[in-house]
C-alpha cells in the first residue's frame, strides 16, 4: 500500500523524486514527527522550533520553512494526507476547494519541500510538528498517505505525541470554542451513541499510528509537569529526542485560556457579530476577540466536579489498556484522578453591568495605548 501511494505522490514530478535521494541514501536519517495531541503545549514547542530554526539547522536538524517562516501548526502536511481535505477546516484555511485543488496543492508543496530539503546536509534530522495530524488524520489510510508522502526523504520515523487527561483537554478547548465563534458552548459533550469519540480515544489513535509506523516507532508521553524533564515541556521534548536546547531561545509561555469575564464578553460579541458560517470573516469581531484574549487571561469554571468526573469515567478502561501497552513500567494510572481543580458548583449568574463597563474601559485604554 505504501509503495503504491508513494508512486502516486511522485508520479508527476521525476525531478522532485531525484532530489529526494542521492547516492541511494535518503536525505534524512530520521524524522521526529510530533503529532500533538491538541492542547498539550504544541504551540510552545512550535514557537521554540521557529525561534531556533537557524540554530537547529547548525545542529543538523531541519524544521521546514516551506510551511511558513512563522512555523505554526504546519497544516500543509494534513492537507497532503487527508482524503477529502476540501471538506474540512484545513482545506478552507489553505484555499483547497476540490480534489483537483488538493492534487495541485500537494504537488506544489512537495516541490517546495524538495527544493528546501535538497540544501540540507545528508543524514540530517527532520522535525515536523502539527497537533492536527492526530486530530484530522483519523484512520489508517490517511496516516499511510502521510507516511507515503514523507518516506522518500526519510530513513526512520519517530512518532511523538503527548497525552493529557481527557477532561482537562475539554476544559482547555472551551476557550478555543468561544474564540472561534461559539456563543453558547457546552463544556462536556454527552456520551456518543457509537462509543468513545476518536479525538479522546487515545488507545484507538495509538493503534492507528502503530499499525502504519510500527509500535517501536510511536512514543507517547504524558502532559504533566511532574512527568517532564526538569518540569519543563520544552526541555522534556528536546531531551527525549536528542535536540540541543542549551543556548537556544526559549518562548514565552502564556496562559491562552479566558477568564469568566472574557468568556461572557466574547460570547456576546459572537452573538452580535459572528457571521454564522464557521469562519472568522468579521474583522471587527476578530479585533475584539484578540484584544479581549490579551486582557482576560485566566481560569474559568466551565463545569463542576461531578460533570468532569462523569466525562472522564468513559475513558478509564481504554486509558488503562494503553498504559499496559505503551507504559509497561508505569505502576500508577495513566492520569491522576484528582478533580479538586473543579468547583463543586459553578456560578450560573450572568455578567454584571458593572463588569461589562469595567471591561469596556480596559479595552478602550488598551486600544489607545
Predicted confidence (pLDDT) per residue in 286-326, tens digit: 888 888 888 888 887 788 999 999 999 999 999 999 999 99
SS3 265: helix
The whole-angstrom separation of Cα 111 and Cα 116 is: 9
Task: Provide the pLDDT for residue 12.
Answer: 42
Q: Give me the residue spans of the domains in the chain.
A: 2-165+197-240
The confidence score (pLDDT) of residue 360 equals: 79
- The reported pLDDT for the residue numbered 294 is 83
Q: CB neighbours (10 Å) of residue 292? A: 23
C-alpha–C-alpha distance, residues 110 and 10, integer Å: 9
C-alpha cell at 34: 510530533
Q: pLDDT under 70 in the chain at which residues?
A: 1-24, 190-195, 255, 274-281, 348-351, 368-369
pLDDT of res. 330 = 96
From the CB of residue 353, how many other CB atoms can be counted at a distance below 10 Å?
7
Q: 339 by DSSP, 3-state: which?
A: coil
DSSP, residue by residue, 65-102? STT-TT-TT-HHHHHHH-TTGGGSHHHHHHT--SHHHH
**CA angle at 342 for the pair 339 and 348, rounded to the nearest 5°:** 150
Quick one: the chain helix, strand, coil %, rounded to 5? 50, 10, 40
Query: What pLDDT is attached to residue 344?
Result: 92
Q: Show the cell assigned to 306.
A: 461531578
Cell of 91: 482545506
84 and 142 Cβ atoms separated by less than 8 Å: no
Report the distance separating Cα 59 and Cα 56, nearest Å: 5
Amino acid at each position: 500500500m505504501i509503495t503504491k501511494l508513494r508512486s502516486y505522490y511522485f508520479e508527476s514530478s521525476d525531478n522532485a523524486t531525484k532530489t529526494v535521494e542521492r547516492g541511494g541514501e535518503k536525505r534524512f536519517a530520521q524524522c521526529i514527527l510530533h503529532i500533538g495531541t491538541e492542547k498539550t503545549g504544541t504551540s510552545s514547542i512550535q514557537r521554540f522550533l521557529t525561534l531556533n530554526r537557524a540554530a537547529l539547522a547548525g545542529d543538523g536538524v531541519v524544521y521546514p520553512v516551506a510551511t511558513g517562516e512563522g512555523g505554526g501548526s504546519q497544516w500543509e502536511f494534513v492537507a497532503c494526507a487527508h482524503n477529502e481535505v476540501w471538506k474540512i477546516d484545513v482545506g478552507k484555511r489553505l484555499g483547497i476547494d476540490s480534489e483537483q485543488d488538493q492534487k495541485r496543492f500537494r504537488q506544489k508543496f512537495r516541490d517546495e519541500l524538495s527544493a528546501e530539503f535538497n540544501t540540507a546536509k545528508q543524514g540530517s534530522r527532520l522535525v515536523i510538528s502539527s497537533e492536527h495530524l492526530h486530530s484530522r488524520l483519523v484512520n489508517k489510510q490517511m496516516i499511510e498517505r502521510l507516511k507515503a508522502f514523507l518516506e522518500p526523504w526519510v530513513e526512520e520515523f519517530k512518532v511523538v505525541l503527548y497525552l493529557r487527561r481527557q477532561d482537562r483537554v475539554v476544559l482547555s478547548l472551551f476557550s478555543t470554542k468561544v474564540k472561534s465563534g461559539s456563543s453558547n458552548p457546552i463544556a462536556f459533550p454527552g456520551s456518543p451513541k457509537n462509543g468513545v469519540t476518536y479525538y479522546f480515544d487515545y488507545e484507538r489513535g495509538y493503534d492507528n499510528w502503530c499499525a502504519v509506523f510500527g509500535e517501536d516507532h510511536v512514543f507517547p508521553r504524558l502532559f504533566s509537569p511532574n512527568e517532564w524533564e526538569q518540569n519543563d515541556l520544552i526541555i522534556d521534548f528536546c531531551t527525549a529526542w536528542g535536540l540541543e536546547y542549551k543556548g537556544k531561545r526559549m518562548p514565552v509561555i502564556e496562559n491562552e485560556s479566558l477568564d469568566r469575564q472574557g468568556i461572557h464578553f466574547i460570547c456576546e460579541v459572537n452573538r452580535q457579530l459572528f457571521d454564522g458560517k464557521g469562519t472568522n470573516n468579521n474583522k471587527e469581531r476578530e479585533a475584539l476577540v484578540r484584544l479581549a484574549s490579551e486582557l482576560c487571561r485566566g481560569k474559568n469554571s466551565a463545569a463542576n466536579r461531578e460533570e468532569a468526573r462523569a466525562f472522564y469515567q468513559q475513558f478509564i478502561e481504554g486509558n488503562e489498556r494503553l498504559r499496559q501497552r505503551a507504559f509497561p513500567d508505569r505502576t500508577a494510572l495513566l492520569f491522576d484522578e484528582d478533580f479538586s481543580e473543579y468547583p463543586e458548583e459553578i456560578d450560573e449568574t450572568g455578567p454584571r453591568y458593572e463588569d461589562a463597563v469595567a471591561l469596556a474601559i480596559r479595552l478602550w485604554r488598551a486600544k489607545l495605548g
